Amino acid sequence: MNRRAFLISSGAAASLALLGRGRLSAQTPPAAPSVPVAPPPPVTEFKLLRRNVGLFTGQGGTVGWLSNRDALAVVDTQFPQTASVLLRDLPGRDGRMIDAVINTHHHGDHTGGNAVLRPAAKQVIAHANVPELMRARAEADKRTLDPALLPTLGFTDGYRQGFGDEAVSAKYFGPAHTRGDIVVLFEQANVVHLGDLMFNRLYPVIDRPGGASIRGWVKLLEKVAKDYPPDATYIFGHGNPKFGVTGTPADLLVFRDYLSGLLAHVESEIKAGKSKEEIQKLENLPGFPDFHQPPGRGNRLPGNLGVAYDEIMAAG
C-alpha cells in the first residue's frame, strides 16, 4: 500500500370530574398537555458510485468514501448521530482504522462527526484555514469548541496521498463558499467531491463572516468545470431532492449562472437606488425556477441578496 502523502502548500391523563355544590358535575376535560415527541432518526444510505468510491447521505452535507482492500478514506462527517452510523456501517471496514478523514470546509454539518470518527482515524485533513474558522464560529456562537473536532493536518494549496490502488488529491482555489473550501478528487475512480462549493438547484449558504466571495465562487466553478475530467462524477454537498447530490460539469455551470445572476440583479437594483432592505424583499430570483423556495424562514434568497449587496458595496 502506498501511503506517501504530499503536502503542496456537524400524556395526556384523563382528568377527574370536579366536585361542585355537593355533587359531581360533568365537566369537559381540560386540554391534554403537549408531550415532546422525539423526531425520527435520520434516514441514512450508502451508495457505491465508481471503483470502490461511494457516497453516504443522512443528516448534513453529503459524505464521500473510499473502501478498497488496502485503505479507507472518508470525506466529511456530518453530525454525531449519523457519523456513528457511518463509522459502524462503512462498507468493507470490518474494524479497520480509517486512513484519512478529509473535511471539505469547517461548517458543522460537515465536521460535526469528526469527534466520532477521530478515535478510528489515523488523520483528519483540511485546509489550513479550517481550524481558525472553526474557532471563530464557536466564539460567535458562544460555545466551547471540542478539540476533537479539529483537523490534525492542514495544507495550503494542495494535498495528495495514495490509498492502495487509489490516489486522493485536494486543491484550494481561494475564497468561495468560505475561505477554507477544497475540491477533493478520487483520481482513479474519477469522482470529485465539492462539498458546499455545490448546492444543486438550491439557494446556497454564503458565509461572508467565514470569508465567502461570490465572485471568487463563480471563477472557481468555471475553473473546476474546465480543468477536471469532463466525464467525472461530482458529489455535491447539498441538492434539491428533484436533482440529487451527484451530477456533471453542466450542473456546476447552472450554479455558476445563478451566482452570476444574483450579482447582476443586485448591481442593477443598487444602480436603481434601492436600499439593501428593499432588495432583500425579493422572494425568488427570476430565471432560476429550479431554485425557487416558498417564502419564509427556509428561503435563503433574502440572505443571498444581502451578502451580494455587502460584497458589491465593499468592492466600491
pLDDT in tens, 223-234: 999 999 999 999
Q: Mind listing the pLDDT tens digit for each residue in 162-219?
A: 999 999 999 999 999 999 999 999 999 999 999 999 999 999 999 999 999 999 999 9
**All residues at 6 or more sequence positions from 172 whose CB lies less than 8 Å from its CB, including other chains:** 9, 127, 155, 156, 157, 158, 180, 181, 182
pLDDT at position 13, please?
A: 35
Which DSSP string do the residues of 119-158 spell out, in sequence order?
GGBS-EEEETTHHHHHHHHHHHTT-PPPGGGS-SEEESSE
Query: Which pLDDT score, from 0 to 100, does residue 78 have?
Result: 98
Q: Who has greater pLDDT, 11 or 115?
A: 115
Question: Is the pLDDT confidence value at 24 over 80?
Answer: no
pLDDT in tens, 60-117: 999 999 999 999 999 999 999 999 999 999 999 999 999 999 999 999 999 999 999 9
Instruction: Report the pLDDT averaged over residues 29-53.
Output: 78
Whole-angstrom Cα distance, residue 296 to residue 208?
21
In angstroms, the CA 81 to CA 60 distance is 11
Amino acid present at 184: V
pLDDT of residue 316: 82
Percentage of the residues of the chain whose pLDDT score is greater than 70: 88
Give the per-residue pLDDT at 36.
65
* pLDDT at site 41: 80
Q: Go through the domains of the chain in sequence order and give each one's CATH number.
A: 44-254 (3.60.15.10)
Average pLDDT rounded to a whole number, residues 271-290 = 97
